[in-house]
Structure 1
Amino acid sequence: MTLLPAALKSPHRGLTLALSSLVLSAGCAMAQGTPQTNLPRAKLSAGMHQIDAQVALTPEQRQIGLMFRKEMPVTEGMLFVFEQPAQQCFWMKNTLLPLTAAFVADDGTIVNLADMKPQTTDSHCSEKPVRYVLEMNVGWFAKKGIKAGSKLSGPVFAQPR
């Protein structure tokens, strides 16, 4: 908050105010326990199985993720997109649903899967650098026979890097 008056004098005042508003909105959503349900969506597939994924692109969207959601339809998930491949680690603080995270390489290949228990701070990490993480309801991948080495497809994986 103390930075805002200085930001008002900046030549990038509009951008700074917009970013400040976004950060404050994300912080308010987290403080109020409000799930984010208005993210852009992408259609993905795992073989013949279709996935309707919300896409978390910004650091704020990724930070909130699926926190505070009380339910999620069986064919829905959240795809976290990072700027570059790195070891990605997730935890479940303020997340009410048991989830499975698929750590996914640029070409859509699942590197590893991790079942995650709700409301814990246990860390679940990718076994190698990845750009994508797809969270689905726990057990979804196992029920469909999808495991490490399986491939996801969709427009997001076809984009040049």
Structure 2
Amino acid sequence: MMPQRKQKLVRFDRPTTRQGIGILALFLIGTALIAGMILRQATAFSSGVLHANEGRYSLALEVAATSRQRRKGLMERDSLAPDAGMLFVYDEEQTGDHAFWMYRARIPLDIAFLDHAGEIQSITSMVPCTTEKEACPRYPAGTSFWMALEVNAGYFNEHGIAAGDRLEIAP
């Protein structure tokens, strides 16, 4: 007679406590990584004060600090609040031939190019461009800059803001 083998039954219906903790830890780490990526891409908001000869003017600033945020800019927006703007911030100085464009922009804007201390170096007006990319004009800074501030067209003229005036950004 042949000996019978006893078969050991293995049950997989319930994970052990150690396995459960491992799965939970992986889930939490994944969630934290995804949340971190989303937060890095989220637009930051700040406030600023434009110091001009004729007075001080407060602005609500949307800060575009990543390349993705700078590429998107104010595209496809139908309006911008009267005392609001978008501040483009760079990690290194941009050359005078660096240009902005208004592809898929719906509102006319003015742009000021600022040095590292927030002093306005030049101001340009830009018109919306809803045609093909290649047909949209480019607006070069004409000066080196570290930041660029877009506001509604006419804002700088209405408030007497010109080159040499300064933007102070809240910490």
Considering the TM-score relative to the shorter chain, is it more than 0.5? yes
Aligned-pair CA distance for 1:128: 1.9
- In terms of mean alpha carbon deviation, does 120-129 or 146-155 score higher? 120-129
Which letter maps to 2:159? K
Match of 2:166 among 143, 146, 151: 151
Q: Which residue of 1 aligns with 2:91?
A: 83
State, as a whole percentage, how many aligned pairs show the same letter.
30
Partners in 2 of 1:121 and 1:57 — Cα distance?
A: 24
Which letter maps to 1:92? M
SS in 1 for 2:92: strand
- Mark the runs of 5 or more structure 2 residues left unpaired by the alignment: 1-29, 130-134
Instruction: Show the 5 A alignment for 1:35-50.
Output: 39-47=43-51, 48-50=56-58
Partners in 1 of 2:142 and 2:83 — Cα distance?
A: 25
SS in 2 for 1:106: coil
Instruction: Show the 5 A alignment for 1:1-161.
Output: 39-47=43-51, 48-87=56-95, 88-119=98-129, 121-155=136-170
Highest RCO, 1 vs 2 (Cα 8 Å, sep ≥ 6): 2
Aligned-pair CA distance for 1:89: 1.1
Note the alpha carbon deviations across 1:101-150, whole angstroms, 9 max, x for none. 00010111100001000016211122221110000000001100001111
Which letter maps to 1:43? S
Note the alpha carbon deviations across 1:15-44, whole angstroms, 9 max, x for none. xx96xx87xxx9xxxxxxxxxxx6211111
Give the strand-richer structure, 1 or 2: 2
Which letter maps to 2:83? T
The RMSD of aligned alpha carbons is 2.0
Q: Deviating runs (4+, > 2 A) in structure 1?
A: none
How many aligned residue pairs are there? 125
Q: TM-score, normalised by structure 2?
A: 0.67
Aligned-pair CA distance for 1:155: 3.6
Which letter maps to 2:163? A
